[in-house]
């Protein structure tokens, strides 16, 4: 099953939408919109761009020695 978009009030006067995966996990939450029509237009824009969006990695590079030692360190006990 595909994900779903939910339009909701954010506790104030603004509207937002969230994208939920098929298992109910919230994948993304939008910024604020003043009305429902604007929120729906935001959903349309996400639908159009999401499949073709490029990935920009903003993470700093890891030191090579740390990666060779343990590429996926376990959580501290």
| Nearest-5° Cα angle at 75, 70 to 77 | 120
d(CA 46, CA 52): 10
Q: CA–CA separation, 5 vs 69, rounded Å?
A: 42
The encoded tokens of residue 51 equal 């499949």
Digit-coded pLDDT (tens) for 11-56: 888 999 999 999 999 999 999 999 999 999 999 999 998 888 888 9
Model pLDDT, residue 50:
84
How many residues can be counted in the chain?
Answer: 77
The CATH number of domain 4-54, selected from 3.20.20.70, 3.40.50.1260, 3.40.50.1370, 3.30.160.160: 3.30.160.160
27 in Cβ contact with 19 (< 8 Å) = yes
pLDDT of residue 13: 87
């Amino acid at each position: 099953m595909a994900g779903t978009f939910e339009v909701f009030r954010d506790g104030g006067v603004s509207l937002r939408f969230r994208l939920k995966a098929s298992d109910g996990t919230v994948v993304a939450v939008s910024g604020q919109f003043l009305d429902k029509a604007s929120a729906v237009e935001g959903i349309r824009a996400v639908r159009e761009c999401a499949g073709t969006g490029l990935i920009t990695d903003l993470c700093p590079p890891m030191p090579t020695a740390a990666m060779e030692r343990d590429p996926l360190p376990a959580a501290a006990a």
